[in-house]
Amino acid sequence: MYVELPGGVCSKKMLIDYFMYDRSILTGAVFKRLFWSHRIVGTTRQILSIMRGDFSNALGQEIARLASFSIPTLLIWGQHDKSIPVEIGLQFKAMLPGAEWHMLEKSGHLPQLEQAEYFNRAVLNFLTPPNDEGK
């Protein structure tokens, strides 16, 4: 059951149709948490501006810049992400030599919610330094 928020119906439909794979997790509490920032004046307008623009190209430029730093990078992607498709994620992976890549089969744009246990384990493993038993 979805909780109706004033002015949130359009955002809720977009979230369900465009960003979610597992729609069962979108409870009223989750929706409120995802859209809390929309209460800040100008946020919704800015997000729509980003979505209307050439976001993927701009993000690609930032990824290329990130590649110049040669730092460990973790990419976690939802296989059913309609907003930034897997093909773009794979292009980013190719731009970042040595990047660790995880594609979650049962996830859209929000793998941190849809596959939270796997997502959290991947992040913790990435952030945990290797065990140097020889020292």
CATH number, domain containing residue 43: 3.40.50.1820
- Does residue 115 register a pLDDT over 90? yes
pLDDT for 5: 38
- In this structure, is residue 135 part of a structural domain? no
Average pLDDT rounded to a whole number, residues 39-56: 68
Average pLDDT rounded to a whole number, residues 6-31: 72
Domain count, the chain: 1
- In this structure, is residue 76 part of a structural domain? yes
Q: Domain range holding 96?
A: 9-127
Least confident of 93-102, 109-118, 125-134: 125-134
- In this structure, is residue 2 part of a structural domain? no
- In this structure, is residue 14 part of a structural domain? yes
What is the rounded distance in angstroms from the CA atom of residue 97 to the CA atom of residue 37? Answer: 34
pLDDT for 86: 94
pLDDT for 51: 63
Average pLDDT rounded to a whole number, residues 106-131: 93
- In this structure, is residue 91 part of a structural domain? yes
The predicted model scores a pTM of: 0.72
Q: Which residues contact 1 (CB under 8 A, 6 or more apart)?
A: 27, 28
- Does residue 4 register a pLDDT over 60? no
Compute the mean pLDDT over every residue in the chain, rounded to the nearest whole number: 80
What is the rounded distance in angstroms from the CA atom of residue 43 to the CA atom of residue 122? Answer: 30
pLDDT for 35: 72
